[in-house]
Structure 1
Amino acid sequence: MKRFILIICVIFLNSLFIVLECKASESVSPEQIQRLFPKATVIGNKASDFPVYPVYQLQELIGYAFESNDLVEFPGFSGDRINLLIGIDVQGNIVGIEVLHHHEPIFLHGLGPEPMNRFIDQYIGQNVSNRVIVDSAANDTNPNDNTVHVDGVTKATVSVIVISDTVLLSALQVAKNKLTGFASAPAATAKPGLYEPLNTDTLFERGLLQRWEISPEVFEDELGASLDDYPDGTFYLQDGETFTVYFAYLNSPLIGKNLLGEADFTRLQAMLKPNEQAFMVMSSGFFSYLEPEFKPGTVPTRVSLQQNGLPFGMRDLNFYSFEPQQLAGNLEATNDLQIFAVNTQSGFNPSLPMQLSLNIDIAKNHLISQQLQLTHPYTLPKDLFDIAAPTEEYKPEPAWIRVWKMRWPVITVLALSLIAVTAIFALQHQLSANEKRFRWIRWSFMFYTLIFIGWYAQGQLSVVNIYPILQSVKSGFDLQVYLMDPVLFILWSYVFVSLFIVGRGIFCGWLCPFGALQEMVGWVAKKFRIRQRKIPFAVHRKLWWIKYAILGGLVITSYISLSDAEVLSEVEPFKTAITLHFVRYWPFVLYTVALLAAGLFINKFYCRYVCPLGAGLAILGYFHKFEWLTRRKECGKPCTMCYHKCDIKAITPEGKVDYNECVQCLECIVYYNNDDLCPPLKKAKKGPKRKPDMADSLAVEVR
């Protein structure tokens, strides 16, 4: 026995050494981005306003790279997010995807990374405006339709749906915030037909054109020093002169056409991209709102717009690069007159109050620089705009709802089978009264459990499913994590309730696919009369504790390192035998076959001594309310038939049922209700022996 256990342990340890986890670094390197954009020559730093890395070819922006974890939160099957590095070009096409981090067990320690990578590769070349559906439908629909079908991964439905949502919704966020043409229509658009001739003084009076005058004293108060203390050329001071900033919103013809003139206003409208809002800014006096190093066509650092406490960059349109700086009316243009654009896809709404902000950084000497920020309010009349009713942004159904809809036939069959097993337990005495009928029912259900629940529906419960619950103690409970797989959710819900009613037996004896497989191995052993190894009951009780020790080690490891716990969970052969149908790297197959082979000599060897899931269920099942496996007073003394006949040795020599170890196969109930098998019933059936009377003697003499 010791040699046998040693051989099993060596095989298991060898298989664990094969399982190595590739821990991807979560910090993005330029080399990783370069792989997404092979033609890139410059990769910018992560932007401060939105978490993307701009990518350039020479001076031309060609796209953005970003981490999905910065933009979306979709927990995977393990409860942890799948972090992807994604690249999109300026047309909104996905150019590359690289997996930075994930904890999906089916890919880490089951199917391997290749199926995951093949699935992800189907998204490369897709535009973020496409509607992508994960199924096996052919892409031969209407060519004008933007619906695209991609193939899923068998046995990894939940993981691929989460990956799909992660890719598409994070890329769509970047497109809406950074790319032209993907933003929603602005909430307010200037009325194109609202115009009347107005002179400059009227524009000032109505507040449509702003004049912001800042005296030298204001500068000195904000800086805390005299302007004379600054280097020559910083300020151009003249007696009584102020620093005056002029600014106005130009999309409305009532303002733009009266300020620029009809020709320049028409030219501006042609230059503006969809959803862009134009502003005129210029200044005069002892300072300029433009920094000395400002380059046309860029975003100035000294001036910006603010709205609702958020800053909005103003991009110079280079409007006067080939035209003279001039304005209509009696307002004289200055040398720093510029036209800027603000994109509404960043959330800016011109119909709401805003502020022009001056963000000034002035060097006092070569060691010290000082900053000041000044703001001036600007509110436009509502009647300048057509205010659109807010539209709800399309949000896909939660992934778990889509999975439940896809798997409704499986869910229906599973629910009916759970009703059936409940009826079997409720009617156990009536059903077990007929031995053949009960055997037919039991073996039919065993094949159903292995083939449908296990191999087809992928409903093998595992200790791995417990890790998200343990992690929720640290990270918080999220019901969606558990709803992602309807089969497992329904099974776990049923098993959890049954644990506190009758203990672990309903799952371990009726709903565990690997348990059903072991049951069949035991049947083969009996059929071929393979001699069973006798283990003394005292030793048997000590061996029970192995599975509890394994469970404790896995729980502790899961808090230290979830990845390591997932590797060590390969102590369960479920993934090899049930999830992957034995199609796996040979050490895993050898380990699983060894456990099943052990079951030829020690019935349900794995269930009895190794299974950490069974140990966990037994701990919860300890608090069960009912003990409904009926016993007689003769059980254990003098009758020990059930003790000897119990294949899993869950009945003690005293005749008591140990519900922590019992898988409730109901074999003992078959014996209990059969007067041809149960010794007390057989004895009662024969009736009491009686002495021969006189009539019996006379009958003998006559013969």
Structure 2
Amino acid sequence: MKRFVLFLCVLLVNCIFIVCECRADTAVTPEKIQQLFPKATVIGDKQDDYPVYPVYQLQELLGYAFESNDLVELPGFSGDRINLLIGMDVQGNIVGVDILHHHEPIFLHGLGPEPMRKFLDQYIGQNVSNRVIVDSAANDTNPDDNTVHVDGVTKATVSVIVMSDTVLLSALQVARNKLTGFASAPAATAKQDNYAPLSSAELLNQGYLKHWQLSRDEFEDKLGSSLDDYPAGTFDTDFNDTFDIYYAYLNSPLIGKNLLGEEAFARLQAMLKPNEQAFMVMSKGFFSYLDPDFKPGTVPSQVSLIQNELPFAMRDLNFFSSLPQALQGDLAATDDLQLFAVNTQSGFNPSVPMQLNLNIEVARNHLIKQQAQFSNDYALPESLFDIAEVEVMEKPLPAWVRVWKMRWHTITILVLSLIAVTAIFVYQHKLSANEKLFRKVRWGFMFFTLIFIGWYAQGQLSIVNIYPILQSVINGFDLQVYLMDPVLFILWLYVFISLFIVGRGIFCGWLCPFGALQEMVGWVAKRFRIRQYKISFNVHRRLWWIKYAILIGLAGTSYYSLSAAEVLSEVEPFKTAITLHFVRYWPFVLYTLVLLGLGLFINKFYCRYVCPLGAGLAVLGYFHKFEWLTRRKECGKPCTMCYHKCDIKAITPEGDVDYNECVQCLECIVYYNNDDLCPPLKKAKKTKRAKPDIADSLAVEVK
């Protein structure tokens, strides 16, 4: 036995080693990006204003590479996000997808990474404007439609839908932010025929041009120190005691043409990309809104726009790169006069009130930096704009809703089967009174559980499903994580409720596909009269604790490292036997066959001594409300039939039922309710027959 246990451990370690080899590298490297863009000669650093890596061939921009985790938050089947490195060219075509990190069990230690890569390869060449549907209806594609069908992966419906959404939504965000032609139409556009000559004073009076003045006292109050306490050159307080900022919206000719002049305004209009909104900002006084390290054409760190409590970066247009800084009229330009662009595709609307935000950071010394924040309100009248009707876009249904709709027929059959098993338990005494009928119902349901719930519907619960629940204690509860697989969600809901009513038995004895497979192995052993290995009750009771030790180890590991816990969960043979139908690397198949083979000699060996899921359910099931398996006073003393007939030894020699170990197969109830099988009932029946009838005795005496 010791040698055999050592063999099992070595086999399991070999399986874990194979799983570890399948894990993806998480780092983004130039080499990975180069694989997406083979012609690239220059790969830029991740940009500060938007999380993308620009890719060039000499001086020509080829496209962008980006991580999906920087752009979308879509939990996968495991509850963790699938992080992908995606490459997209300047036309919005996806040129490559690489897997950086994921925790999807079906690919991590199930089907392996190859089906996942093949699925993602279908997105290469797809344009982000296409509508991609995951199904197998590619032959029904209308050539005049932009709908594209891609094949899913059997047994991985949830994962592939999340991967599809991850690729498309992150790519669409980048396209709208970085590529021409993909931006949403602005909600408000400046009227180009709205112009009248206005002086700077008139622009100020009407609020089109804003003059924001901050005093020295206001600065010192925010910083908490006198301006004289800062190094020389930080503040110019010798000639000025105020900090004045002038800013204005420029797309409207009523403002932009009056400030810049007709020629400069026309040049600005030519520079702006579709949907970009231009602003002028300049300052004078003891400080400058531009940070000392500011470079033309970049985003300044100390100034931004705030609208609806959301920040919007202002990108410098480098408008005065070849011409002197100048303004029309009597408003003198300063050295830090700059024109900036804000893109409306990020949700900015120039007709809605906004604030100019200053985030000042100055060094007190070489160790200490101090910050001060200021904001100033700016609102423009709607008469300057053509307000477009908001286009009501049909939001895509959440991934979990789409999965539930796709699997409605499976859900219906599963719910009906749960109603059936509930009825079996409610009427267990009536059903078990007819031994032949009970056997047929029991065998039929075991085949249904294995074939439909397990192999077809992929409804094998696993200790891996518990990890998100444990992680929610730290990371918070997200119901969508559990709704992603309707079959598992319904089963878990049913099992969780039943745990507190009758204990773990309904799942372990009736709804566990691998448990059903083990029961069938037990039938084979009985059919061929394979001799069972006898384990004394005391040894049996000690072996119980193995599965609890495994449970504690896995639960503790999941808090330390979710990846490590998922690897160690290979102690469960469910993925090999149920999820993958034994189509897997040979060590996994051998490990599973060995566990099933043990069931020929020790009934349900895995369930009784190894299964961490069963141990976890037993812990919760300990608090069950009812004890459905009734007992007689003769049970255990003198009658020990149920103790000897219980194949998993959940009945003690004293006749008590241990509900932590009982799988409620109801075999003992069959004996309990049949006077031809139960010794106390046999005795009572025989006694009743032997006792003379009083009426017969009286009749004899009269005669």
**Matched-pair contact (CA < 8 Å) for 1:55–1:65:** yes
The residue that corresponds to 2:400 in the other structure is: 400
Deviations 1:481-510 (A, max 9, x none): 111111111111111111121111111111
Q: Does the alignment pair 1:178 with 2:181? A: no
The residue that corresponds to 2:63 in the other structure is: 63
Q: CA deviation at 1:599?
A: 0.9
The residue that corresponds to 1:316 in the other structure is: 317
Q: Which amino acid is the alignment partner of residue 96 of structure 1? A: G
Distance of 1:618 and 1:143 partners within structure 2? 56
Alignment of structure 1 residues 456-471 onto 2, 5 Å: 456-471=456-471
The residue that corresponds to 1:440 in the other structure is: 440
Distance of 2:399 and 2:69 partners within structure 1? 17
Q: Relative to structure 1, is the Cα distance of residues 653 and 282 closer, same or farther in structure 2, using a 3 angstrom cutoff?
A: closer
Q: CA deviation at 1:183?
A: 2.4
Q: CA deviation at 1:602?
A: 1.3
SS of the equivalent of 1:96 reads strand
With structure 1 as the length reference, what TM-score do the two structures score? 0.84
Q: Does the alignment pair 1:37 with 2:37? A: yes
Q: Which moved more, 1:653-662 or 1:202-211?
A: 202-211
Q: Relative to structure 1, is the Cα distance of residues 383 and 648 closer, same or farther in structure 2, using a 3 angstrom cutoff?
A: same
Q: Work out the number of aligned pairs and report it.
A: 686
Alignment of structure 1 residues 508-519 onto 2, 5 Å: 508-519=508-519
**Matched-pair contact (CA < 8 Å) for 2:359–2:372:** yes
Q: CA deviation at 1:209?
A: 5.6
The residue that corresponds to 2:305 in the other structure is: 306
Distance of 1:631 and 1:360 partners within structure 2? 79
Distance of 1:45 and 1:191 partners within structure 2? 39
Alignment of structure 1 residues 216-227 onto 2, 5 Å: none
With structure 2 as the length reference, what TM-score do the two structures score? 0.84
The residue that corresponds to 2:486 in the other structure is: 486
Q: Which amino acid is the alignment partner of residue 81 of structure 1? A: R
Q: Does the alignment pair 1:559 with 2:559? A: yes
Q: CA deviation at 1:523?
A: 0.9
SS of the equivalent of 1:676 reads coil
Q: CA deviation at 1:57?
A: 3.0
Distance of 2:188 and 2:434 partners within structure 1? 79
Q: Relative to structure 1, is the Cα distance of residues 25 and 392 closer, same or farther in structure 2, using a 3 angstrom cutoff?
A: farther
Q: Relative to structure 1, is the Cα distance of residues 4 and 195 closer, same or farther in structure 2, using a 3 angstrom cutoff?
A: closer
SS of the equivalent of 2:84 reads strand
The residue that corresponds to 1:680 in the other structure is: 680
Q: Which amino acid is the alignment partner of residue 548 of structure 1? A: Y
Q: CA deviation at 1:87?
A: 2.2
Q: CA deviation at 1:171?
A: 2.0
**Matched-pair contact (CA < 8 Å) for 2:131–2:147:** yes
**Matched-pair contact (CA < 8 Å) for 1:305–1:354:** no
Deviations 1:228-253 (A, max 9, x none): x879xx99x9x99x999987544323
Deviations 1:366-421 (A, max 9, x none): xxx99999998765433211234555665422221111111111111010001101
Q: Which moved more, 1:428-437 or 1:121-130?
A: 121-130
The residue that corresponds to 2:125 in the other structure is: 125
Deviations 1:57-104 (A, max 9, x none): 333333222222222222211121211222222322222222211111
Q: CA deviation at 1:344?
A: 2.3
Q: Which amino acid is the alignment partner of residue 34 of structure 1? A: Q
Distance of 2:499 and 2:324 partners within structure 1? 84
**Matched-pair contact (CA < 8 Å) for 1:213–1:244:** yes
Q: Which moved more, 1:21-30 or 1:188-197?
A: 21-30
Distance of 1:245 and 1:13 partners within structure 2? 68
Q: CA deviation at 1:578?
A: 0.4
The residue that corresponds to 2:15 in the other structure is: 15
The residue that corresponds to 2:277 in the other structure is: 277
The residue that corresponds to 1:168 in the other structure is: 168
Distance of 2:648 and 2:360 partners within structure 1? 81
The residue that corresponds to 1:700 in the other structure is: none
SS of the equivalent of 1:533 reads coil
The residue that corresponds to 1:383 in the other structure is: 383
Q: Relative to structure 1, is the Cα distance of residues 506 and 243 closer, same or farther in structure 2, using a 3 angstrom cutoff?
A: closer
Q: Over the residues paired in the alignment, what is the CA RMSD in angstroms?
A: 4.4
Q: Which moved more, 1:394-403 or 1:102-111?
A: 394-403
Distance of 2:593 and 2:115 partners within structure 1? 25
Distance of 1:521 and 1:155 partners within structure 2? 25
Q: Which amino acid is the alignment partner of residue 305 of structure 2? A: Q
Distance of 1:339 and 1:654 partners within structure 2? 89
Q: Which amino acid is the alignment partner of residue 313 of structure 2? A: F
Q: Does the alignment pair 1:525 with 2:555? A: no
Q: CA deviation at 1:638?
A: 2.5
Q: Which amino acid is the alignment partner of residue 675 of structure 2? A: D
The residue that corresponds to 1:701 in the other structure is: none
Distance of 1:214 and 1:679 partners within structure 2? 98
Distance of 2:667 and 2:284 partners within structure 1? 98
Distance of 2:157 and 2:649 partners within structure 1? 39
Percent of aligned pairs with the same residue?
Answer: 76
Q: CA deviation at 1:135?
A: 1.3
Q: Relative to structure 1, is the Cα distance of residues 281 and 59 closer, same or farther in structure 2, using a 3 angstrom cutoff?
A: farther
SS of the equivalent of 1:601 reads coil
Deviations 1:405-451 (A, max 9, x none): 11111111010001101111111111111111111111110100000
Distance of 2:17 and 2:315 partners within structure 1? 58
The residue that corresponds to 2:700 in the other structure is: none
Alignment of structure 1 residues 79-478 onto 2, 5 Å: 79-138=79-138, 140-196=140-196, 206=206, 208=208, 249-256=249-256, 269=269, 271-279=271-279, 298-299=297-298, 306-308=305-307, 310=311, 312-316=313-317, 341-352=341-352, 379-388=379-388, 395-478=395-478
The residue that corresponds to 1:540 in the other structure is: 540
Q: Relative to structure 1, is the Cα distance of residues 623 and 205 closer, same or farther in structure 2, using a 3 angstrom cutoff?
A: closer
Between structure 1 and structure 2, the one with the greater Rg is 1
Distance of 1:358 and 1:679 partners within structure 2? 89
Q: Does the alignment pair 1:582 with 2:582? A: yes
**Matched-pair contact (CA < 8 Å) for 1:315–1:341:** yes
Distance of 1:253 and 1:196 partners within structure 2? 8
Distance of 2:444 and 2:124 partners within structure 1? 47
Deviations 1:515-551 (A, max 9, x none): 1111111111111111112222222222222212221
Q: Relative to structure 1, is the Cα distance of residues 537 and 200 closer, same or farther in structure 2, using a 3 angstrom cutoff?
A: closer
Q: CA deviation at 1:38?
A: 2.5
Q: Which moved more, 1:276-285 or 1:100-109?
A: 276-285
Distance of 1:360 and 1:472 partners within structure 2? 39
Q: Which amino acid is the alignment partner of residue 456 of structure 2? A: Y
The residue that corresponds to 1:51 in the other structure is: 51
Q: Which moved more, 1:613-622 or 1:179-188?
A: 179-188
Q: CA deviation at 1:115?
A: 0.8
Deviations 1:108-135 (A, max 9, x none): 1111000111111122222222222211
The residue that corresponds to 1:669 in the other structure is: 669
Q: Which runs of 5+ in 2 are unaligned?
A: 364-368, 698-703
SS of the equivalent of 1:19 reads helix
Q: Which amino acid is the alignment partner of residue 566 of structure 2? A: E
The residue that corresponds to 2:656 in the other structure is: 656
Q: CA deviation at 1:593?
A: 0.7
Deviations 1:19-50 (A, max 9, x none): 32555454422222222222333333322333
Deviations 1:587-621 (A, max 9, x none): 11111111111111111111111111111111222
Q: Which runs of 5+ in 1 are unaligned?
A: 364-368, 697-703
Distance of 1:621 and 1:292 partners within structure 2? 66
**Matched-pair contact (CA < 8 Å) for 1:290–1:300:** no
**Matched-pair contact (CA < 8 Å) for 1:305–1:314:** no
**Matched-pair contact (CA < 8 Å) for 1:188–1:386:** yes
Q: Which amino acid is the alignment partner of residue 130 of structure 2? A: N
Distance of 2:556 and 2:455 partners within structure 1? 30
**Matched-pair contact (CA < 8 Å) for 1:67–1:85:** yes
Q: Which moved more, 1:447-456 or 1:477-486?
A: 477-486
Q: Relative to structure 1, is the Cα distance of residues 71 and 667 closer, same or farther in structure 2, using a 3 angstrom cutoff?
A: same
Q: Which amino acid is the alignment partner of residue 511 of structure 2? A: L
**Matched-pair contact (CA < 8 Å) for 1:21–1:563:** no
The residue that corresponds to 1:699 in the other structure is: none
Distance of 1:506 and 1:157 partners within structure 2? 27
